[in-house]
Amino acid sequence: MNWKPKLTSRAEEPADIEALDPALKQALGDFKASVRGWSDAAYNRPRTAQSMVVRRSWRLAAGWSLAAVLLAGTVSGGFYEHHKLVVAAQIAAVQKAEQERQAAAQRARDEAQQEDDILASVDKDISREVPSAMEPLAQLTDEGESR
């Protein structure tokens, strides 16, 4: 047996409407009609979709912009430091090459001077103005040229 009691609310139960006062009956009927009319009007009225304005969108854009500026500054600072090191290394290399060139030129001058000194000392040690065996002959040529 499936016997389920029928559940009803007090609003659905038939009321003894005839027993009520006609003025009260008229007031309840008007109230009921007013509530239904308001409910139908509220249900059937046209609705407009409201767009939500996000007021934090500029904050997000500002945050990303700041992050981009900081990143660009960091990267460009690294490139600048690297560039400074490269330029300093180039200047040091040029200075070192100039010092080596000057040192090589000084060594070449010193070697040339030493060679000249050695040749002069050898020339002085080896040569004489006139050898002793040839002195009389040299005197004759000197006299012959003067005549």
Task: Write down the pLDDT at residue 5.
Answer: 57
Task: Write down the pLDDT at residue 10.
Answer: 58
The reported pTM is: 0.39
Average pLDDT in the chain: 82
Report the C-alpha gap between 95 and 91 in whole angstroms: 6
User: What digits encode the pLDDT tens for the residues 81-107?
Assistant: 999 999 999 999 999 999 999 999 999
Report the C-alpha gap between 87 and 85 in whole angstroms: 6
Contact 17, 25 (CB under 8 A): yes
Task: Write down the pLDDT at residue 114.
Answer: 94
Helix (H, G, I), strand (E, B) or coil at 80: helix
Residue with the two structure tokens 């400074």: 84
